[in-house]
């Protein structure tokens, strides 16, 4: 999402939106497509809240966008065909920015710019580590009271915005924390390790995805750029122990049983019967 935001800011920079148009598809959910087609002029700001993009155009019109599972923004020249294009911004430099979404899980919701931050669910989102900054204390406050397993709590967008399944798995590996730890059991030193790991994971993700086109991890892609995600059965990059996986909160979690011990104390034996 952050890469999409940066690309859009660059593409809109110094340009004017001369025409917005969209097909009548379900990406608008309950919102009015004609309000999307009223967007025009300069893009005054584009902020990201979690996985949502908030566009504010001159004149006070705005748009909340979500890429869903398969959506992306791509820039083409006028007349070029973009498969799965659902909505388009025509710029005054001859470029067209398409919202392309094969499966239409994405969402476009036009609304007055001043109201964007109050729309459901943006108004409910927790702190965004990249957009808002995050200290160990803020992380402990946001996540520490959760009764969910640590990884599930990290992905709860109302506690912390913008951390997905891959980010959460990678951050826990970097921090040496088991995904099933109880958030309330973390020590101040562990929160500090975790906040540093979240920052490192986000930085790595941004570097990995820089460029004109977003990069998605696909099953079977030859080189897996992640430390632990998608490596089940293979050796841990740090200690060689086979990486394990299990399902947690409906998502697959990958972890190293040696680097991320259940007990929270490295190299200690798991306590029998304790979950």
> For binding to Zn ion (CB under 5 A), which residues are involved?
236, 238-239, 241, 256, 258-259
161 or 236: CB nearest Zn ion: 236
The answer to whether 84 touches 104, Cβ cutoff 8 Å, is no
7 or 260: CB nearest Zn ion: 260
Residue 236 Cβ, how far from Zn ion at the closest point, in Å?
A: 3
6 or 258: CB nearest Zn ion: 258
The answer to whether 96 touches 88, Cβ cutoff 8 Å, is yes
Burial class (CB in 10 A: 0-12, 13-18, 19+), 89: buried
CA distance 69 to 143: 25
Residue with tokens 């869903």: 68
Partners of residue 88 on adjacent β-strands: 21, 98
Residue 187 Cβ, how far from Zn ion at the closest point, in Å?
A: 21
Backbone angles phi, psi at 99, to 5 degrees: -95, 110
CA distance 17 to 39: 8
- Cβ-based neighbours of 238, under 8 Å, separated by 6 or more: 227, 256, 259
The answer to whether 43 touches 117, Cβ cutoff 8 Å, is no
The answer to whether 200 touches 174, Cβ cutoff 8 Å, is yes
- Cβ-based neighbours of 269, under 8 Å, separated by 6 or more: 263
189 or 267: CB nearest Zn ion: 267
Backbone angles phi, psi at 26, to 5 degrees: -80, 0
For residue 163, CA distances in Å to 157, 160, 226, 248 come to 7, 7, 15, 15
186 or 236: CB nearest Zn ion: 236
**Which residue minimizes CB distance to Zn ion?**
236
Residue 235 Cβ, how far from Zn ion at the closest point, in Å?
A: 8
Residue 49 Cβ, how far from Zn ion at the closest point, in Å?
A: 34
Residue 191 Cβ, how far from Zn ion at the closest point, in Å?
A: 21
Residue 220 Cβ, how far from Zn ion at the closest point, in Å?
A: 24
144 or 257: CB nearest Zn ion: 257
85 or 260: CB nearest Zn ion: 260
Residue 172 Cβ, how far from Zn ion at the closest point, in Å?
A: 12
41 or 270: CB nearest Zn ion: 270
CA distance 236 to 152: 22
């Amino acid at each position: 999402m952050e890469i999409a935001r940066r690309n859009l800011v660059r593409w809109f920079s110094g340009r004017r939106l001369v025409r917005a148009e969209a097909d009548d598809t379900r990406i608008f959910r309950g919102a009015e497509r004609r309000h999307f087609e009223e967007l025009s002029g300069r893009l005054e700001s584009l902020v990201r809240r979690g996985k949502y993009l908030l566009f504010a155009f001159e004149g006070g019109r705005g748009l909340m966008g979500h890429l869903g599972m398969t959506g992306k923004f791509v820039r083409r020249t006028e007349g070029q065909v973009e498969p799965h294009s659902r909505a388009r911004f025509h710029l005054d430099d001859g470029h067209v920015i398409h919202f392309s979404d094969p499966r239409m899980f994405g969402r476009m919701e036009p609304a007055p710019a001043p109201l964007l931050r109050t729309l459901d669910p943006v108004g409910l989102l927790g702190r965004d580590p990249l957009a808002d900054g995050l200290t160990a204390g803020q992380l402990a406050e946001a996540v520490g009271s959760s009764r969910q397993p640590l990884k599930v709590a990290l992905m709860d967008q109302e506690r912390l915005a913008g951390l997905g399944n891959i980010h959460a798995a990678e951050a826990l590996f970097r921090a040496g924390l088991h995904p099933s730890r109880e958030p309330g059991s973390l020590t101040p030193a562990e929160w500090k390790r975790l906040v540093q790991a979240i920052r490192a994971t986000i930085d790595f993700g941004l570097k990995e995805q820089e460029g004109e086109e977003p990069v998605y991890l696909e099953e079977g892609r030859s080189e897996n750029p992640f430390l632990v995600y998608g490596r089940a059965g293979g050796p841990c990059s740090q200690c060689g122990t086979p990486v394990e996986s299990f399902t947690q909160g409906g998502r697959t979690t990958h972890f190293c049983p040696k680097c991320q011990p259940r007990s929270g104390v490295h190299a200690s034996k798991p306590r029998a019967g304790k979950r």
